[in-house]
Each structure stands twice: as structure tokens, then as C-alpha cells.
Amino acid sequence: MNNVLRSPGQTKRRIAQLCVFAVRCGAAVVLSSVTVALAATVSVAPDADTFLRSFAPTNNYGAGGALSVSGSAAVNGTGDQNGLFDTLMRFPVSNVVASLDAALGEQDWVVTEARLVVTEIAAPDNAIFNRGVGAFEVRWIGADSWLEGTGKPVAPTTDGVAWQDLPSILDPSMDTSLGVFTNTGADGQISFVLGKPDRFLADLRSGGELSLYLTAASPQVGFTFNSRNFGNTNAQPALEVTALPNPRPGIDSVAAAGGNISVGFSVTTNWTYRLQRADTLPGRGAWVDVLIVPSQLSPTNVVYVEGLTNSRAFYRLSVSQ
């Protein structure tokens, strides 16, 4: 019998394929529980953030208590348009990696969700900020060396990043969208589930600095929210990361005895496993589901047993959420 392993490199779906001489008659499944390992969630505050304003392209606002994203049609409380606003945020993710390593094993985990959590201000007191409900985009950017600065809306400075610096910070060939979202236009906490492209996940797992760029996706958006300098720490921004133990899709054992063939594999918490069989060489016949193990509350060992009736069969195992 031959053992073939194939992995397309996807985070949430990988395949292990095994070729064996056997097929089916009757079938049985044996499950046995092992040590419990649950999901872990870690939250980190930014170590730098600022908004940038097109009407004041040299001004820095890094020490302000609020951040903002605004389109060209949004206006402030008195009907004035104050220009386009973008926001930069930088998160130190070393503690995220350390915490997930401690909970789930060193680099032995898979990120299943990343959220940006902020507290919206529907009607900002400062007239510099525009208002309005609309769409905005969150992007992961590769540049982390921008300076937050010490400027405020009432006293801007030139000692940190400003609107004029965006062309040197943004890189369209590398920066990657994490999704387009809409604010609520109401006071209160709001969270956005970010996409998980490979570059974003690789930057997160590296344990260094991770930067996000927020920009208007519709003219009417005027989204203002608290910054890391806001007085109430419970209302400051956060990046929230949830991870699960590595699902490790792979067939662990194959045995033929007493007219039966048994296929064994391990199931990790909170993943769905699918065992499939083909009666001809892969690519020449259809894969058929023979066993689906739904999400388990604890890791489990599975043994699938079926009777030997044909000369050979091909099995493969996949994992998904």
C-alpha cells in the first residue's frame, strides 16, 4: 500500500490522502476522547494610532483622543465638509503570539477569527470631524515605521505622520484588503470581523508590529471613534484574535485484519473532518463521503472500519470549519 500526502497550503482546509488495498462491506466507527484543548482569544491595544486629513496635509494628530474615516460628502454638525479622513493603527502582536503559544502550543495553532473592536462617537464634540453612515475599508499594510506624533485636533503638529506621507507608506502591490464595513451612526462599541489573507496572518504570527489602514469606501461615511489616547481604557480600540489548536489533517494508521480495513485519524477540537473514498485512482473516479465527524468539544481519536470486498480503494481526509 502507498501513502500519499497532499497540502494546497490553505489555512482552513487541507487534505491528507492515503491509498490502500481494500473497500467496503459493512462499516463501523470508534471514537475515543483525549485531552481537552479549547479555543483561545487574545486582545491587544494599539501602540500607535492617528487620523490623517486631506484639508491639512502637513498636520499630525497622533495624540488626539479620536480617530476618523471620512468620505467627500460627509459634513460636520454645522454642515461643513472638512476634507477626507484616513486612519492608521499599529498593534504590537508579540503578546498575542506568546499567549496563543502558551495556551495551544508553540506556533501550533490556526487563527479562526480576527476582529477590530472600536467605540463609535456618533456626534463628536470637535467640529473638525465629519459625520455620516457609510462604507469604509480596512487594509493590512506592510509599513510599520510611521510615527504617531504628538498633534491634537486643537493643536496639530508636524512631528509625526500626515496626509502627505501616505504615498510613501502605502504599497498597492503588497497592502491587502481585510474587508469593507459600515459604521452604525450611534454611540457605542462596534466590532468588525476581518478577512484573513495570508500576508495578514503571516504578519500576525511573526510576533512583531502589525499596521492597519482605514479609508473611506463611500462618499457619505463620517466614522469617528475613540483612539488609544481616549481616557477610558475600556473604550479604546483593540485587535481581538481567536485561534484553535492546529487541526493536523492526516490519516494516522491503516490496518487490514479479519476481512476488515481500519482507517485511524485524530480529530482536533472545533473542526469538522471528512473522510472520503474513491474506488479508482484519484482523478479517474469521484470521491464519496464515507464518514463526516462533526465539530467535537474535545480532541478525539477516530477509527473507521469497513469490510474488505474489492481489491483496493483510495481514502483522503479533509478538515474545515
Residue range 194-209, pLDDT digits in tens: 999 999 999 999 999 9
Cα–chain center distance at 204 = 9
Beta bridge partners of 68: 224
Residue 310 contacts by C-beta under 8 Å, 6 or more apart in sequence? 22, 23, 24, 279
Beta bridge partners of 149: none
Residue range 68-113, pLDDT digits in tens: 999 999 999 999 999 999 999 999 999 999 999 999 989 989 999 9
Q: How far apart are CA 4 and CA 315, in angstroms?
A: 10
Give me the residue spans of the domains in the chain. 2-37+247-320, 46-236
Res. 32: pLDDT tops 70: no
Of 20-29, 100-109, 218-227, 245-254, least confident by mean pLDDT is: 20-29
Res. 122: pLDDT tops 70: yes
Beta bridge partners of 307: 260
Residue range 166-197, pLDDT digits in tens: 999 999 999 999 999 999 999 999 999 999 99
Res. 282: pLDDT tops 70: no
Bigger pLDDT: 321 or 157?
Answer: 157
Stretch 48-64: mean pLDDT, rounded?
98
Q: How far apart are CA 136 and CA 221, in angstroms?
A: 7
- In this structure, the number of other CB atoms found within 10 A of the CB of residue 250 comes to 17
Per-residue confidence (pLDDT) for residue 2, from 0 to 100: 31
Reported as a pLDDT band with limits 50, 70 and 90, residue 27 is low
Per-residue confidence (pLDDT) for residue 14, from 0 to 100: 37
Compute the mean pLDDT over every residue in the chain, rounded to the nearest whole number: 86
Per-residue confidence (pLDDT) for residue 50, from 0 to 100: 98
In terms of C-beta density within 10 A (0-12 exposed, 13-18 middle, 19 or more buried), how is residue 90 classed? buried
* Range among 16-20, 134-138, 270-274 with highest mean pLDDT value: 134-138
> Residue 298 is placed in which grid cell?
474535545
- Smallest CA-to-CA distance from 45 within 247, 195, 233 is with 233
Of 24-33, 38-47, 105-114, least confident by mean pLDDT is: 24-33
Res. 142: pLDDT tops 70: yes
Residue range 301-315, pLDDT digits in tens: 889 988 876 667 788
Per-residue confidence (pLDDT) for residue 138, from 0 to 100: 98
The DSSP element (H or E) to which 70 belongs, if any, is strand 66-70
Per-residue confidence (pLDDT) for residue 25, from 0 to 100: 40
Per-residue confidence (pLDDT) for residue 101, from 0 to 100: 95
* Range among 52-56, 249-253, 256-260 with highest mean pLDDT value: 52-56
> Residue 39 is placed in which grid cell?
479555543
Q: What is the pTM of this model?
A: 0.77
Q: How far apart are CA 62 and CA 228, in angstroms?
A: 10
Reported as a pLDDT band with limits 50, 70 and 90, residue 224 is very high
Per-residue confidence (pLDDT) for residue 6, from 0 to 100: 27
Per-residue confidence (pLDDT) for residue 20, from 0 to 100: 39
Per-residue confidence (pLDDT) for residue 35, from 0 to 100: 40
Phi, psi of 113 (to 5 degrees): -160, 140
Phi, psi of 232 (to 5 degrees): -90, 110
**Under CATH, what is the fold of the domain 2-37+247-320?**
Immunoglobulin-like (2.60.40)
Q: How far apart are CA 21 and CA 310, in angstroms?
A: 8
Cα separation values, 212 from 28, 65, 150, 170, 215, Å: 50, 18, 19, 11, 10
Phi, psi of 102 (to 5 degrees): -65, -35
Coil, strand or helix: which one is 94? helix
Q: How far apart are CA 311 and CA 281, in angstroms?
A: 12
Cα separation values, 81 from 75, 151, 154, 187, 215, Å: 4, 21, 17, 21, 16
Res. 10: pLDDT tops 60: no
Per-residue confidence (pLDDT) for residue 7, from 0 to 100: 28
Reported as a pLDDT band with limits 50, 70 and 90, residue 56 is very high
